[in-house]
Amino acid sequence: MSIVWRLDRLVRSLKYLIEVMSTLDDRRIGFRSLTEQIDTTTSGGKLIFHVLGTLAEFVRDLIRERTKAGLAAARGRGRLGGGRKAIDTSTKVPMSQSPYNQKSNSIADICKTLGVSHATLYRFIRARASAV
């Protein structure tokens, strides 16, 4: 007897699911899913197994289609995926030093002007100090 927690943990496609079940059946090994209460040693269990396998693949395909449609819609609105663009340190590191040296400027104001976080500003200052 082969036991799995959920049917979708065993395989990702209906084709592979049927292959696995055929292999198990050829070896006279029964299959049981604990969550879906499927037991392929009975004819009713085999029917439920194939129906749920088909539905699981259908749901995965729907999710894939919705994800692609959402990404396409976001691209249409001008949104791009991925992380933020890297900061141009060649210009911002020197720009950060002068306002930082003028003690009249607050750290928050400097960060807002440069469009960086506090940690990034301090990293700029350390990089500039080590370069000098």
81-90 pLDDT, tens digit per residue, is: 776 666 777 7
User: Do residue 101 and residue 69 come from a single domain?
Assistant: no
For every residue of 25-62, DSSP letters joined together read HHTT--EEETTTTEETTSHHHHHHHHHHHHHHHHHHHH
Question: Which of 8-12, 36-40, 99-103, 108-112 tops mean pLDDT?
Answer: 108-112
Could you tell me if residue 37 is inside a domain?
A: yes
CATH classification of the domain holding 13: 3.40.50.1390
53-84 pLDDT, tens digit per residue, is: 788 788 889 999 999 999 999 989 988 777 66
User: Do residue 97 and residue 67 come from a single domain?
Assistant: no
The total number of structural domains in the chain stands at 2
The pLDDT value recorded for residue 39 is 82
At residue 4, φ and ψ (nearest 5 deg) are -130, 160
At residue 130, φ and ψ (nearest 5 deg) are -75, -25
115-124 pLDDT, tens digit per residue, is: 888 898 888 8
Query: Residue with structure tokens 């976001």?
Result: 74
User: Do residue 57 and residue 100 come from a single domain?
Assistant: no
